Structures are given as C-alpha cells and as structure tokens.
C-alpha cells in the first residue's frame, strides 16, 4: 500500500511539474508573440523617464508629450518640486519598460529636437490624457499641435473639480 502511494505521489509530482513547465513556456511564447506583433505594429519600448511629460525610447529618441505640461523638477519651490516628482513617478508607473505607440500631430520635433507625440499603451490607455485626468499635468496647447486639446481641457476641468494632484493644493 505504501509503495503504491509513493508511486502515485511521484507520478503526480512529475505530472504537476510537466503541467507547470508547459504553462510557463506557453505563457512565455504567448508573451513573445504579443511583443512581436506589437513591435511589427510600431510599438517601441520606453527605457528612461526624464520627467512627467518626457521619455526616452529604446531608439535613443526623446519624446515630449503633446498638449500637456507637468511641473518642472528644477523648480525651486518645494511644493512644486514635489508635484514634479509625483508626476515623474506616475509617468514611470504608466510607461517605464513598456511598449508604447506614438501618434504625430502636425509638428515633428520641438526646438530641443524631441519628438512631439501623443503616446498610447497597448491596452489603449492614452498616456497624455491619463496624466491630465489624474491631476499630474496641465492641459497646455502648443499650436499647431492641438488635435486633442478640447479633450485635455475637459479632463483638466474634471481633475480640478475633484481636486486631484496639482489641483488638490491649497
């Protein structure tokens, strides 16, 4: 009886190992296929967060989010500097080491050579908008790149009403 029980336990352990290993490889393969599909469709990996509205891609290109502005890390006022840090952290949570899709408006680059883009995650999250909705960014038009400015302004108004982020300071 004990021999049979020992054999059954060994068999179940091996079977469980095979199931778990198979599942792991299936997940890895699926993830690999998804990553490949995303890359084929223009998604690029974010490798660095400069601040709340600027990122660096795996290509080395800097991208400045269009239509928004976050507080500056270099600001001397402690409260503003803290908000700038929070905006950078939120931006990092959204996009760091993730694949993003870029959308151009009218302008290619700004005076600093950064790409000017709207940024999206694979799940459809509109990063520029999310930063405004959560109160980490102001809706700031930079003509001629104003395609989503009404959307950003509406989100800013809602963030202000609900005292989110920068709008929660007294």
What ranges do the domains of the chain cover?
1-41, 42-168
Q: Where are the alpha helices (DSSP H) in 41-170?
A: 78-95, 127-133, 149-161
Q: What is the mean pLDDT of residues 10-28?
A: 67
Residues 64/109, Cβ–Cβ less than 8 Å: no
> In the prediction, which pLDDT does 7 show?
75
Cα distances (Å, whole numbers) of residue 152 to 45, 84, 129, 156: 25, 19, 6, 6
> In the prediction, which pLDDT does 85 show?
96
Let me know if 72 is a catalytic residue.
Answer: yes
Residue 99 pLDDT exceeds 90: yes
**CATH match of 42-168 with 2.40.50.90:** yes
Q: What is the mean pLDDT of residues 122-126?
A: 97
Residue among 48, 62, 108, 114 flagged as catalytic:
114
Q: What is the pTM of this model?
A: 0.79
The lowest-confidence range among 28-32, 41-45, 163-167 is 28-32
Let me know if 48 is a catalytic residue.
Answer: no
Q: Model confidence at 64, in pLDDT bands (50, 70, 90)? A: very high
Handedness of CA 36, 116, 141, 97 (dihedral sign): positive
Residue 30 pLDDT exceeds 90: no
Q: What is the mean pLDDT of residues 22-33?
A: 59
- 109 three-state secondary structure: strand
Let me know if 114 is a catalytic residue.
Answer: yes
Residue among 64, 86, 117, 134 flagged as catalytic:
64
Q: What is the mean pLDDT of residues 137-160?
A: 97
Residue among 72, 101, 103, 160 flagged as catalytic:
72
% of the chain surpassing 70 pLDDT? 84
């Amino acid at each position: 009886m004990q021999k049979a029980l020992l054999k059954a336990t060994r068999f179940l352990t091996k079977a469980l190992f095979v199931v778990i290993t198979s599942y792991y490889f299936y997940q890895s393969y699926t993830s690999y296929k998804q990553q490949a599909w995303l890359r084929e469709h223009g998604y690029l990996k974010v490798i660095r967060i400069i601040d709340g509205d600027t990122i660096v891609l795996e290509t080395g290109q800097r991208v400045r989010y269009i239509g928004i502005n976050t507080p500056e890390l270099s600001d001397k006022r402690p409260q503003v500097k803290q908000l700038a840090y929070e905006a950078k952290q939120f931006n990092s949570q959204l996009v760091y080491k993730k694949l993003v899709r870029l959308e151009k408006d009218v302008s290619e680059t700004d005076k600093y050579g950064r790409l000017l883009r709207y940024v999206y995650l694979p799940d459809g999250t509109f990063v520029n908008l999310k930063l405004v909705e959560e109160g980490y960014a102001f809706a700031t038009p930079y003509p001629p790149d104003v395609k989503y400015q009404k959307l950003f302004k509406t989100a800013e108004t809602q963030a202000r009403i609900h005292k989110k982020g920068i709008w929660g300071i007294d």
